[in-house]
Structure 1
Amino acid sequence: MLSKDPKRALVLSGGGGRGAYHVGVLRFLEDHEWYPDVVVGTSIGAVNGAALASGHTAHSLWALWRKLRTKDVQKPNWNPFTAVSLLDTAPLRHTLLNKGWVDFERINSAEEAAVHLRITATEITTGQLHIFSNSLNNKTDITIEHILSSCSIPLIYPHTNLGEVPFWDGAVVANTPLSAAIAAGAEEIIVVVMTPVRGASGSLPTNLYEAASMTLEWALLSSFQADLKMFDLINSLASIRDEFDKLQAAYPNIVNQYMQDMSNFVGATIKQDYKHLEMPIIVCPEDFIPVEQIVSYSEEWHEKLYRMGYEDMKNAWRANGRSVEGE
């Protein structure tokens, strides 16, 4: 059943075949009895998020990932003259619908959905990021098309239409849509990013492939860094509001008249209800994960990424001052 007062949010970034990393994070959180009320997902994060909203646990989701192979997700587009993408995602549609990944009746039921779900996708013709939600206050009936639209990596996979509107992967605009978790009202946020956020630096690229890979990684990270700056801005505004409240208590008539004059000047009511936000716990790898894993799904890499996600979540948990079971 959907929580009426969601406080905990889990933000799952895009990353294609690297999505087993999310599951390792989930396993650690479940081991420590931390369960999200809201899950925000982009691309493969939308797939894992929809699975969680369908009632999957880290254990059952890991069982699905261990069996997932490249042929279950994509196939080549054989005609280079008519194809608008290198690969076709018809196998992913079949996998999600027929192999136990998602239950759309449950996702779209306020009584049965396990979490509030937010899926993001980018409208191709405008560049606008759309957020699709199963929450009653902003509800969309989530379908397979919403998940596929969030996974539609430009040039690699075909775009997906929602009605008459064409969409690409949400990562085109925001690979880690932290702002959607804030808008959902979450006060405790864990963000899973598949690019090193701090401390790591790649070596200078030595060929075209390495240059393209590094460009992609930094581009995917840039919108998240902007969202982190938004946290600082909101907290600064909240601090100003605290001081403003003291002035208003001391000089109510003067301050109220000032606010009215300012609202008249700007032509809108000035927002005064900013509140302090706790900085999110950020989970990320220490080093770059090979970019080719975005379109590759193998048992060997699933195992590596699952273990990596678990250990990175443990380190982030510990760094946040929380106790780790068994230590």
Structure 2
Amino acid sequence: MPSENRKNALILSGGGGRGAYHVGVMRFLEEHEWFPDIVAGTSIGAVNGAALASGHNSRSLWALWQRLTTDDVQKTHWNLLEGNYLLDTSPLRNTLQEHGWVNFERLNSAEAAVHLRVTATEINSGQLHVFGNSDDIYPSKMRRENIELNHIIASCSIPIVYPATQLNDTLYWDGATVANTPLGPAIDAGAEEIVVVIMTPWEDDDAGTPELPTPKNILTAASTMLEWALLASFQSDLKMFRRINELVRLQVENARLQATNRLLMAQLRGEELDLEDKDGNGIPDIFEDKFHALPEPIIVAPQKAIPVDRIIRYTRDGHEELFQLGYEDAKRAWRAAGKVVEGEG
């Protein structure tokens, strides 16, 4: 992939009321001078991503989260005989518009702080749609259009829990329904150094499969099922990412071998073959300065499952706990990636 226009990308998974975890991660990254150029978010990740694109940083966003309550996000949908959902998200609409979370004018202008990508799932086809406020670098199916309130609400429309949201005559559910962690859209936008934030325990395939508590009742059974479902799409995306990386490495090495063979054959014939890109030993180094495999994403995730009821519960104490958890997990992931943590030498 072209190494020009290198961009940092922050990928924010869905998780409802657990979104304060994202902000703790952001705080750690900012303290270590790592700032995203691209933010790809699903569900509450789309909300936090839109806030960043509007010019918020972790401190101003955290101030908003500290004031956020359940009543600011949802209310009971009393007439269950009408509609196919349990909770009404009209309070969230008001919160995002009236309480300073998102500035849609800035988000959709040249002054946007980041390249934003949000996802939603088309109900009738199950197809994931990606919406963005800027063009992708690589060919993709991303829809470049002004991001509006309905795009964010659509990305948050958890099936059964919240009502579907209409965009351009089409109904959408939460993007997490099929892709909770949008790795692909970030790469299409030009990402090279990627930090992925997921709110489900994660261990790489090489380290084994994360273990979740054995379900003891219906609630914990639902929690366990949801955690595995949220991980599935990211596991698939990460495997594809690594396969493409390996293909890039093989293509670059093949090009080097072919060029080296041409150089040696020319020397045997007593000819001079000038190759512009060579390493210190005169061996062709073509493509390596233009194309390279992407670094492994830094994956920030909790070590233990976060209770599923946090998805629809927004409390100050809960936000405080999740913020600190996100900060500490980011520190652990940063250290594991071989990067220097301030204060640790």
**TM-score by structure 2 length?**
0.85
Contact 2:120 2:129 in 1 (8 A): yes
**Aligned with residue 287 of structure 1, among 265, 285, 304:** 304
8 Å contact from structure 1 (residues 24, 307) kept in 2: yes
Corresponding residue number in structure 1 for 2:270:
none
Unaligned runs of 5+ in 2: 137-142, 204-208, 264-289
The one-letter code sitting in structure 1 at the alignment partner of 2:116 is L
Name the residue aligned to 2:103.
103
Structure 1 232/73 Cα, relative in aligned 2: closer, same or farther at 3 Å?
same
> Aligned letter for 1:124?
I
Query: Does 21-30 or 200-209 show the bigger shift?
Result: 200-209
User: What is the rounded CA distance, in whole Å, between the counterparts of 1:274 and 1:230 in structure 2?
Assistant: 18
Q: Which residue of 2 aligns with 1:189?
A: 194
What secondary structure does 2:215 align onto? coil
Offset, 1:6? 4.9
Q: 1:160 to 1:6 in 2, by over 3 A?
A: farther
Deviations 1:102-161 (A, max 9, x none): 000000002x10000000011111111111100145621000000000000000000000
Query: Do 1:88 and 1:158's aligned partners in 2 also have CA atoms closer than 8 Å?
Result: yes
1:5 is displaced (CA, Å) by 2.9
Match 1:156 to one of 161, 164, 179: 161
Q: Which residue of 1 aligns with 2:217?
A: 207
1:265-321 per-residue CA deviation (whole Å, 9 max, x = no partner) reads: xxxxxxxx9741111000000100000100000001000000000000011111111
1:135 equivalent in alignment to 2:139? no
In 2, the alpha carbon distance for the partners of 1:6 and 1:107 equals: 21
Spell out, residue by residue over 1:230-265, the C-alpha distance to the aligned partner (whole angstroms, 9 max, x if none): 12201221122023213543369xxxxxxxxxxxxx
Change (3 A) 1:308 1:121: same
> What is aligned with 2:235?
225
Kept in 2, the 8 Å contact 1:234–1:275? The answer is no
Q: What do the CA deviations read for 1:178-227 (whole angstroms, capped 9, x no partner)? A: 11111111110000000011164123222222211101100001000111
The Cα RMSD (Å) is 1.7
Runs of 4+ off more than 4 Å: none
Give, in angstroms, the shift of residue 7 of structure 1.
1.1
Offset of residue 322 of structure 1: 1.2
1:74 maps to amino acid: Q
SS of the residue 2:191 aligns to: coil
Larger Rg: 2
TM-score, normalised via structure 1 length: 0.89
Question: SS state of the match for residue 41, structure 2?
Answer: strand
Contact 1:281 / 1:316 at 8 angstroms: preserved in 2? yes
Contact 2:135 / 2:189 at 8 angstroms: preserved in 1?
no
Deviation, 1:326, is: 1.7
Q: Does the residue aligned with 1:56 lie in a helix, a strand or coil?
A: coil
Tell me the SS of whatever aligns to 2:176. helix
Distance (whole Å) between structure 1 residues aligned to residue 31 and residue 133 of structure 2? 27
Name 2:10's counterpart in structure 1. 10
- Gaps in structure 1 of 5+ consecutive residues: 253-272
| Cα distance in 1 between the residues matched to 2:291 and 2:124 | 33
Counterpart check, 1:41 vs 2:58? no
Tell me the secondary structure at the aligned position of residue 187 of structure 1.
strand
Written as runs of structure 1 = structure 2, the 5 A alignment for 1:69-148 is 69-110=69-110, 112-136=111-135, 139-148=144-153
Count of residue pairs the alignment pairs up:
303
In the aligned structure 1, how far is the partner of 2:45 from the partner of 2:6?
19
Corresponding residue for residue 251 of structure 2:
241
